[in-house]
């Protein structure tokens, strides 16, 4: 079998999301009608069908080649590519999927351009927080009634997974994973700083004051940086959102109420500012530089997500532990989102290709355990989370509570623009000396305006 050619999704001109209705003209009624057509497709009709999928996990097809052995996949990209290869080699229908890729940061701009050109992929990855922007425009098939056709049992979905794929009481996606912030620890440095318990587990801070105290203790004992994260990857927003959630609030509620200029947000942003100003964290570090500093043994605690867990298991030369983000306020909570599979409405409305696209999404759902074990992401299936294979996989037991503590971003139209506005507003505190009060006031106003557009 030859490796399918990977066409670049970003080859089309970028188009803002707000221009999509005029460009595509979809409707919820048309989408529902197309979804109903899937039930009439016979298995034999899909033999030899070719579909295109879009993703943002990187292109490692040259390195992976034709491999279908998941035991050889060691990180997110290689696991995803191996699953694609495995589907093409083994699916019983003879469906072939080709990949369209884009850089993570430009993925949605490129996807919007594909929709505008009436050339969306047959099936695409989408964050749960982005689904309303497309479902509200009639651009995605509602899939609830089609789960049965492809053998998806919705009772096996976790509650966060069910929430992630449901918008306005309709299911618009097949869940793939849940991902969240974790802390990745250099346990050798933590031990050197006397921040390890007798049983070998880390001593993590339980309050802002304790965090600062431990950082000073760590610096004194090791001479190294206590905490790091990538400032170019929206992680400052994710930390901010996490700290607000630990005080029982959300920056924006599920019904779109903006509550950024609050005492809880003031506490969270002040803490982040203090971490930067005291040198505990570095506002100049990028995703790559913070990660490399940690891998080089220069940082004790790296704030990053679930996605690089397997990568770190294979790359670290020190004793490594991934664990839940520390609870610094009154209750556990951590920023989280979900990857899902959605099926765009196509101009020709071909039910056979729709069914083939859904069979691919269902196959990936069936291999959710392989994806979770190969990447580090949290499974969306109760049966997988309860399995001995999952529980015994490297590091998984250390962050099992993250699935329950996840504070998912709101599913509302315009969220991505609102998040970007919020990130830009709060980062002015450490980039240009804006006061915390002024930054929160500006963020409140800008996000409200963004969500009203």
- 206-245, pLDDT tens digit by residue? 999 999 999 999 999 999 999 999 999 899 999 999 999 9
Contact between 206 and 327 under an 8 Å Cβ cutoff? The reply is yes
Q: For residues 221 and 79, give the distance between their C-alpha atoms in angstroms, rounded to a whole number.
A: 39
Whole-number pLDDT of residue 5: 35
Rounded (10°) angle between helices 28-37 and 351-366: 80
Does the pLDDT of residue 173 top 70, yes or no? yes
- Overall CATH class of domain 180-336+410-452: alpha beta
Q: For residues 108 and 178, give the distance between their C-alpha atoms in angstroms, rounded to a whole number.
A: 19
Label residue 31 by pLDDT band (50, 70, 90).
Answer: confident
CATH (residue range 43-179+338-408): 3.40.190.10
Label residue 179 by pLDDT band (50, 70, 90).
Answer: very high
Whole-number pLDDT of residue 9: 54
What letter does residue 71 receive in the DSSP assignment?
G
Q: For residues 137 and 18, give the distance between their C-alpha atoms in angstroms, rounded to a whole number.
A: 10
Whole-number pLDDT of residue 62: 87
Whole-number pLDDT of residue 441: 98
Q: What is the mean pLDDT of residues 396-415?
A: 92
- Which regions of 44-136 does DSSP assign to beta strands (E)? 50-55, 96-101, 123-127
Whole-number pLDDT of residue 13: 42
- 3-25, pLDDT tens digit by residue? 333 344 544 444 556 556 533 44
Whole-number pLDDT of residue 346: 95
Does the pLDDT of residue 29 top 70, yes or no? no
- 127-156, pLDDT tens digit by residue? 999 999 999 999 999 998 899 999 999 999
Q: For residues 202 and 222, give the distance between their C-alpha atoms in angstroms, rounded to a whole number.
A: 16
Does the pLDDT of residue 1 top 70, yes or no? no
Percent of the chain whose pLDDT exceeds 70: 94
Does the pLDDT of residue 119 top 90, yes or no? yes
Query: CATH 3.40.190.10 residue ranges in the chain?
Result: 43-179+338-408, 180-336+410-452
């Amino acid at each position: 079998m030859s490796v399918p050619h990977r066409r670049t999704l970003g080859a089309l001109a970028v188009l803002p999301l707000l221009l999509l209705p005029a460009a595509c003209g979809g409707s919820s009624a048309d989408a529902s009608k197309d979804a109903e057509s899937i039930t009439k497709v016979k298995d034999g009709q899909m033999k030899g069908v070719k579909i295109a999928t879009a993703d943002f996990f990187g292109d490692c097809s040259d390195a992976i080649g034709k491999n279908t052995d998941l035991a050889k996949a060691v990180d997110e990209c290689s696991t995803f590519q191996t699953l694609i290869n495995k589907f093409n080699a083994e699916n019983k229908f003879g469906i072939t999927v080709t990949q369209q890729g884009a850089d993570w940061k430009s993925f949605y701009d490129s996807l919007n351009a594909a929709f505008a050109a009436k050339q969306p992929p047959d099936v695409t990855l989408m964050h749960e927080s982005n689904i309303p922007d497309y479902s509200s425009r009639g651009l995605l098939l509602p899939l609830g009634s089609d789960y049965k056709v492809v053998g998806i049992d919705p009772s096996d979905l976790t509650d966060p997974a069910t929430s992630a794929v449901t918008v306005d009481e309709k299911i618009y996606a097949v869940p793939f994973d849940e991902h969240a912030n974790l802390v990745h620890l250099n346990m050798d440095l933590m031990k050197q700083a006397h921040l390890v318990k007798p049983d070998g587990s880390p001593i993590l801070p339980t309050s802002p004051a304790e965090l600062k105290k431990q950082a000073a203790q760590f610096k004194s004992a090791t001479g190294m940086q206590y905490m790091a994260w990538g400032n170019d990857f929206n992680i400052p927003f994710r930390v901010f959102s996490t700290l607000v959630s630990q005080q029982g609030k959300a920056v924006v509620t599920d019904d779109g109420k903006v509550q950024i200029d609050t005492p809880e947000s003031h506490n969270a942003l002040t803490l982040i500012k203090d971490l930067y100003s005291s040198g505990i964290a570095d506002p100049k570090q990028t995703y790559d530089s913070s990660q490399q500093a940690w891998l080089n043994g220069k940082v004790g605690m790296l704030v990053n997500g679930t996605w690089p867990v397997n990568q770190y298991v294979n790359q670290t030369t020190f004793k490594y532990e991934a664990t839940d983000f520390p609870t610094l306020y009154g209750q556990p909570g951590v920023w989280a989102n979900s990857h899902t599979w959605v099926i765009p409405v196509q101009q020709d409305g071909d039910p056979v290709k729709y069914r083939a696209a859904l069979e691919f999404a269902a196959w990936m759902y069936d291999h959710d355990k392989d994806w979770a074990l190969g990447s580090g992401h949290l499974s969306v299936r109760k049966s997988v989370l309860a399995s001995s294979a999952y529980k015994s996989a490297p590091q998984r037991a250390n962050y099992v509570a993250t699935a329950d503590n996840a504070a998912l971003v709101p599913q509302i139209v315009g969220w991505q623009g609102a998040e970007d506005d919020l990130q830009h507003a709060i980062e002015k505190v450490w980039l240009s000396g804006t006061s915390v009060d002024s930054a929160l006031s500006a963020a409140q106003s800008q996000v409200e305006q963004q969500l009203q557009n």
